[in-house]
Structure 1
Amino acid sequence: MLFRDTDLIKVITGVRRCGKSSLLDLIRMAIESEGVAGRGFVSVNLESKGTGIKTEDQLYDYVRGRLSDKGRTYVFIDEPQRIDGWQDAVNAMRVDFDCDIYLTGSNAYLLSSELATYLSGRYVEVKMLPLSFSEFADFCGIEFVSGTSVALTPEGDPVLFDDMLTRYLEYGGMPAIASLSTTQAQHSAYMSGVYEAIAVRDIVNRERGKGKSAVTDPSLLRHVAEFLADNIGNECSSSRIAGAFNFCGAEDHEQDRFLVCGCA
């Protein structure tokens, strides 16, 4: 991995459920597999209450108590933004310990502009996206040989390249539903949950937490998102969005529409 074993903090960012935690685990497994004696490994998942970590000092002490005394320690912290002042603990680790630090965080809390402030420029951002088509096929156990348009599933059933591409374009590349057996109903239910997590927990609650009021109505935000999704590739303006709401009979809160769209 680029910038490994440097004092730069590696931060994996991306949309919810795109696989950031899994990538963090894979990085640890890859380093551990080298079998270098003396190395230490510390993993902290702050989504789990089992760690008992609630403050930045506890986070710092937790890692300090598990450092290797024979070599470099690799530190992996999942969702550090759940702790107020986490950046102070992480910056202190970088300065005080012989360690290589890797973090994850959803885009809701670790935007690029904020990372520069939190980590004083001593970081590199690894932007993670959902699966590409080739990764999607790999998740489904499909391998298309170069120059061929037909492959076999793990069960031995044939699958056409065009059918596989159509499935990818229809269902997308979220790892949790990357499967040949995923149904439309399962996809709709899963993606609805993803949307609610992003729109309500990330966007609306983030705005409220920062004392802003530009986005206040989750249902109105959903309508705007649906309108934009239906008009991908088309020119769009605040007046077109407002017109679409009026056409549907949604005539209340006209000012809020413009606030939600960022057009106030």
Structure 2
Amino acid sequence: MILRPTYLEKLDQLRDKQIIKVLTGVRRSGKSTLLELYQNKLLKEGVQPEQIQVFNFEDWGLTDLTDYQKLYEYINERLVHNKMNYIFIDEIQNVSHFEKAVDSLFIKKNVDLYITGSNAFMLSGELVTLLSGRYIEIPVYPFSFKEFIETEKNLSKSEALAHYLDRGGFPFATELKDNNTYLSYVQGIINTVLIKDILSRMQRGNATLLEAIAAFLTDASGSLINTNKITNTLMSNKLKTTNMTVISYLEKLVNSYLFYQCSRYDIAGKKYLQVNNKYYPVDPALRRALLGQKRPNMGSRLEGIVYLELKRRGYEVYVGRLGNKEIDFVAVKDGVREYYQVSLSLQDEKTYQREITPFLAIKDNYRKILLTQDPGNYNDNGIEQKNVIDWLLD
């Protein structure tokens, strides 16, 4: 089992603090396993079993507790007085009005509360209003390359990267060596998200249309797109839709954590742009599951894992615009910016000049980093060129 120490350390930093720990992320990204690992850590450190209560609302055996009042009463009756109680609630969005139960538990001084959810709607509406300032979100992603390579110790680093770009990092999927079994598992994740997390929450939903939009986003990963382009493509494929329907489905795909929207940022004007975004799938595995054996654009796939790695490292990430030039990523953390360009190789001089030209137009002194699969690390007039494998494993 991969221990994922970054997440465990984050939970440990927040332990016993009066703030709700909310783990969010796509289904099967490892949220439940993280909570299980943390429970084991608590037991090893002397917490007694009766101080821990665990609920997973994907378990139909807990149907009676999906009413928030019954859930609260059940937990409250079993609290150990004069000791800290650790409450873990998995897939809490399946509890009606769960925010009321969470708020009532939060105000107790002897309750340390951990919850997970697979849909961003749980962090909207009443939850935000009722619990504003009382929770901290911890995004959980499928395995990073650094975590993935721990499962493929028989491969070289470059072989492992090729494998990762193809098969992705859903934790359980890394244990499935048979290609057909692996593919069925990933398709099952996608179908569950599309049907259970999206369509089941809509009065009238079109599964064929939703999957077609998901496939379009996967194929167009790394390209600037707008809703008109998606709508026209779908219509040309004999799928009736409208711009408003596409916008609604895009929002739901992002809220289910299956895709991430990367908005544009005007570097010179220091403002965010509202049109023409990029979308990246949560994991490279989505490509084969949604597009089959269609020939991949390896550059865009590499760009996608760099985007997700920046998100894992806590950056806000945008597409940079400077006049008619584009910077792959503007990454912002703690008020400090970094600029990234991603390319398979820069050994061709024309390619190198194309990639550094946008960097040369930037007038500030923030870091400018070129990530490629070329060996070695270089620094040319303040522009850092790094091997992407070294950077991913840093």
The TM-score with structure 2 as length reference comes to 0.55
Deviations 1:225-264 (A, max 9, x none): 212221222232334334433443x1x52xx242332189
Answer whether contact 1:56 1:86 (CA < 8 A) is retained. yes
Q: 2:148 aligns with which of 116, 128, 136?
A: 136
Distance in 1 separating the partners of 2:231 and 2:15: 49
Deviations 1:39-67 (A, max 9, x none): 81111222223344232222112112221
- 3-state secondary structure, aligned to 1:186: helix
User: Match for 2:55: what amino acid?
Assistant: V
2:243 is matched with 258
Q: How far has the Cα of 1:114 moved from its partner?
A: 5.9
2:28 is matched with 17
Unaligned runs of 5+ in 1: 143-151, 153-158
Q: 1:234 aligns with which of 223, 226, 229?
A: 223
- 3-state secondary structure, aligned to 2:182: helix
- 3-state secondary structure, aligned to 2:73: helix
2:164 is matched with 168
User: Match for 1:89: what amino acid?
Assistant: A
Distance in 1 separating the partners of 2:124 and 2:37: 23
1:178-189 aligned at under 5 Å gives the runs 178-179=174-175, 181-183=177-179, 185-189=180-184
Answer whether contact 1:133 1:165 (CA < 8 A) is retained. yes
Distance 1:204 1:34, change over 3 A: same
Q: 1:40 aligns with which of 46, 51, 64?
A: 51
Percent of aligned positions that are identical? 33
Distance 1:50 1:228, change over 3 A: closer
Q: 1:224 aligns with which of 197, 213, 218?
A: 213
User: Are residue 64 (structure 1) and residue 76 (structure 2) matched?
Assistant: yes
1:4 is matched with 15
- 3-state secondary structure, aligned to 2:52: strand
Distance 1:141 1:228, change over 3 A: closer
2:192 is matched with 197
RMSD value, Cα = 2.6
Q: How far has the Cα of 1:97 moved from its partner?
A: 4.9
Deviations 1:12-36 (A, max 9, x none): 1111111111111111111221115
1:79-98 aligned at under 5 Å gives the runs 79-98=91-110
Distance in 2 separating the partners of 1:57 and 1:104: 19
Unaligned runs of 5+ in 2: 1-11, 250-394
Q: How far has the Cα of 1:112 moved from its partner?
A: 5.6
The TM-score with structure 1 as length reference comes to 0.79
Distance in 2 separating the partners of 1:182 and 1:113: 43
User: Match for 2:83: what amino acid?
Assistant: G
1:29 is matched with 40
More strand by share: 2
